[in-house]
Structure 1
Amino acid sequence: MIPLYLTTFSYTSEAWARLIGHPEDRAQAAQAYIESVGGKLHGFWYAFGAHDGYSLWEAPDNVSMAAVAPAISGGGAVSSFETTVLSDRR
């Protein structure tokens, strides 16, 4: 079974200002990152609360997911990005 990962993220106020002024589908960018390591984006949701959004990914392994995280968070648009490995219920 391919591992699943849940990420929580928050944007900087500057990133929100850019998104409000020029809306774009950030899920497409996230999808490109995960596909580059052989993974898949299962969902991308904005939310109210402690985090601005959540995403659900599958990746071949922890190393692949670890390669994606700094690529996403290193661009300066996010103020936090945390990944949780989800366990298999079987």
Structure 2
Amino acid sequence: MPKFLIQATYTPEGTKGLLKEGASGRRDAVDRVVGDLGGTVEAMYFAFGEDDLVLIIDLPDPVSMAAVSLAVKASGALHTRATPLLTLEEVDEAAGRQVAFRAPGA
């Protein structure tokens, strides 16, 4: 199952919601959304600095990730970035594939 790193920053309105329902309330909401799409939450951490929230989630496919991303961004509560994560085996497989590429100007 594809794995994704999610980095998020709360908007002022999103922060108000977090303060109202707490971190465990947000974890429940994330578990529900990801679970409804057939996925799981591997890790969820709150942070401070550039990102307020960091998650690693498994979802059945990239379309499911896009659906989550669109819904979350439409809420206006968070700004998010999703990064697909690859296993060592997937990188080894990719490294073994022939790719016909010519660098610009070469």
TM-score normalised by the shorter chain: which range applies? 0.7 to 0.9
Report the structure, 1 or 2, having the larger helix content: 2
TM-score by length of 1: 0.86
* Structure 1: segments with no counterpart, 5+ residues: none
Higher Cα Rg, which structure: 2
* Structure 2: segments with no counterpart, 5+ residues: 90-106
Name the structure, 1 or 2, with higher relative contact order (CA <8 Å, separation 6+): 1
Over aligned residues, Cα RMSD in angstroms? 1.3
Q: What is the count of residue pairs matched by the alignment?
A: 87
Runs of 4+ off more than 6 Å: none
Q: Partners in 1 of 2:18 and 2:36 — Cα distance?
A: 24
Q: Partners in 2 of 1:15 and 1:89 — Cα distance?
A: 36
Q: Which position in structure 2 is the counterpart of 1:23? A: 21
Q: Which position in structure 2 is the counterpart of 1:33? A: 33
Deviation at 1:28, TM superposition (A): 1.1
Percent of paired sites with the same residue: 31
Report the structure, 1 or 2, having the larger strand content: 1
